Amino acid sequence: MFELTVQKYPHREALVYPEKNQRWTYSQWDSKVNQLANAFLAYGIKKGDRVSTFLFNTGELVTTLFALAKIGAVFNPINFRLSGGELAFILNDAGSRILLFEAAVAEQVDVARKELQTVEKFLYVDTNPPEYAQCFYEFFADQPTDRPQVDVQENDRYIIMYTSGTTGKPKGVIHRHRDMLEHNMAMIADQKLTYRDRGLVAAPLNHAAELHCFFLPRVHIGATNVIIHQSRGSGGGCGRPS
């Protein structure tokens, strides 16, 4: 889906993220996505591996989503409101190998670290990473912008999202690539979306209501997404975010 949109609308504005002054066309965004995808491959992330984000609404979150989709790895966005113990449970249950996080949730991550069983690497999207984390932008800065050559099929897993756990522990729900394409088409038709539309991403992207009902359908049709971070004062991105 993302590849087709890039081919059709390479010069249309795709992503606006005022928190870090990011404003990318689909072609520019695709280059970042490819670099990150190649960085994951170089690190050793394979098809089916899980990578988690513990972020507010950010450009880094959605760039990671598509980078993982390109290599057949599984995206796991975690609710930024969870405690350290709740975060650790989901990371262990999902078997995540990498965690992306930001300054606003660093305290919870530090608490969770003592309990983690599978996370090997921490990527930090803000300035001054903790000693145990690497700057997100440095992680992929030197990678090529070429599309990674990985065979991803429509029935491969795309995302694992966790339920709220109101009647027990949160449970991971799997969506496959074909599921999302079909859902996008339904949302595009229902909302009468066109490539001329611009949408404000204000509700949490770790929830299907925003991600699957609004954000992804707009990407599918070639529209513009404007991301509102929600938490202020993160201090900007480390490395080279622009």
Q: pLDDT per residue over 57-90, tens digit each?
A: 999 999 999 999 999 999 999 999 999 999 999 9
Q: How does residue 167 score in pLDDT terms, banded at 50, 70 and 90?
A: confident
**Which of the two residues, 169 and 14, has the higher pLDDT score?**
14
Q: How does residue 235 score in pLDDT terms, banded at 50, 70 and 90?
A: very low
Q: How does residue 230 score in pLDDT terms, banded at 50, 70 and 90?
A: confident
The predicted-structure confidence for 117-148, as pLDDT tens digits, reads as follows: 999 999 999 999 999 999 999 999 999 999 99
pLDDT of residue 234: 45
Integer angstrom CA distances of residue 147 from 33, 36, 143, 182: 9, 10, 11, 24
pLDDT of residue 232: 47
pLDDT of residue 76: 98
The number of angstroms, rounded, from the C-alpha of 237 to the middle of its chain's C-alpha atoms is 16
Q: pTM of this prediction?
A: 0.94
Q: How does residue 166 score in pLDDT terms, banded at 50, 70 and 90?
A: confident
Q: Homologous superfamily of 2-140+153-227 in CATH?
A: ANL, N-terminal domain (3.40.50.12780)
pLDDT of residue 237: 58
Cβ(106)–Cβ(130) below 8 Å: yes
The predicted-structure confidence for 194-228, as pLDDT tens digits, reads as follows: 999 999 999 999 999 999 999 999 999 999 999 99
Assign residue 74 a region: left if phi > 0, alpha if psi is -120 to 50, beta otherwise? Answer: beta
